Amino acid sequence: MHLKLSPEDAAFREELRTYFTTEIPQEIRDAVAQRRELTKEQIVTAHKILNKGGYAVPHWPTEWGGRGWTDLQRHIWHEELQRANVPLPLVFNSSMVGPVIAAFGSQEQKEKFLPATANLDIWWSQGFSEPDAGSDLASLRTTAEYVEDESGARFVVNGQKTWTTLGQYGDWIFCLVRTDPDVKKQAGISFLLIDMTTPGVTVRPIELIDGGHEVNEVWFEDVQVPAENLVGELNRGWDYAKFLLGNERVGVAPVGATKRVLASAKEWAGDLVAEDPFLAARFVELENELLALELTALRVSANSADGKPHPASSVLKLKGTELQQAVSELVVDIAGPGAIASGAGEGSDLEHWQARSTPAYLNLRKASIYGGSNEVQRQIIARTILGL
């Protein structure tokens, strides 16, 4: 097994480093490094610059902006984005709905949506999760009734979605909806694209335990959706959702970002590392586990040949989120009493990282739930890797 980059891949990595550190505004990269909440404008600005350079959707088909990179190159790209403190391309656009439309959408949908999605001219939201559904996504209850009359063919959507991340910025939302209640639940679901300015769509904020507004409820009351906004075939939405979730899981182990925070934590700890052998041991253990995960991610990427999510991506998701949470807990411990002041503003005497330590810790509790909970990942690992 050879894990050393070839000269070509090493040159590719340098090309990325140069672009990311010279083209993305320093204030945006500083905000990421300081774990500040990014504004919509900062996210859009960074995404558009990446797209201008061909770095927003490199995994898409080449006719729609893809670069035809190898899986290893895609891995290097993902790691270098994090290493340079560059906001990742908006996942709802780049890794979720874009690939689904490219693979299963009509030609009209591709031409209408893909260029605007790649450039973040359209901000997409995800409409999958529903109240009372938990991890059983197929039990969703939002309905879409097909109607055809003198006003044309359309779906009438009623129901509620929840935990819609950054839905307050959304222009469009891609939704799983129930279009046939009389069959096996997975067989009666369709994939709809809905303009969020359509009458009957309401977005309501959910305040999180860290005090932030990151997620929302989205309500649909007799929302009229043109029939041409159906992606693929009627009642095949479950297949498209599995395709989408597989893509989401590939990049969900943020090794580069976690390494960056751990390195910052060592600076924040200062002399404490030398004075406290138990603290030093925690750093060493986390650094070793991150190195092992990084090598595993590199090995998975280097040995993936068909472009499909490798079963081992579940290992990356599981371990990656565990380490992400462990590092956030370490930062809280280093912050000491300052970690209590999670509401401290800019005028506080506390360092910003101290005031952010507890909100970041609380926010990352979700990491082991989204993208398929870690319990689900353990089931996948047991079934597809261990053969249990």
Q: Which residues are catalytic?
A: 248
CA distance 54 to 48: 10
Neighbours of 349 (CB within 10 A): 8
- Residue whose tokens read 């779906």: 155
Structure tokens at 163: 């935990």
CA distance 220 to 112: 24
Q: How far is CA 319 from CA 160, 245, 259, 333, in A?
A: 32, 18, 14, 21
Q: Residue 118: exposed, middle, or buried by beta-carbon count in 10 A (0-12, 13-18, 19+)?
A: buried
Structure tokens at 309: 């999510």
DSSP H or E segment with residue 226: strand 215-226
Is residue 127 left, alpha or beta, with left meaning phi > 0 and alpha meaning psi from -120 to 50? beta
DSSP assignments along 370-381, one per residue: TTS-HHHHHHHI
DSSP H or E segment with residue 215: strand 215-226
* Chain centroid offset of residue 96 CA: 9
What's phi and psi for 102, nearest 5 deg?
-60, -35
Angle (nearest 5°) at CA 365 between 362 and 368: 165
- Start-to-end C-alpha separation, the chain: 27
CA distance 266 to 347: 25
CA distance 308 to 265: 35
CA distance 23 to 15: 12
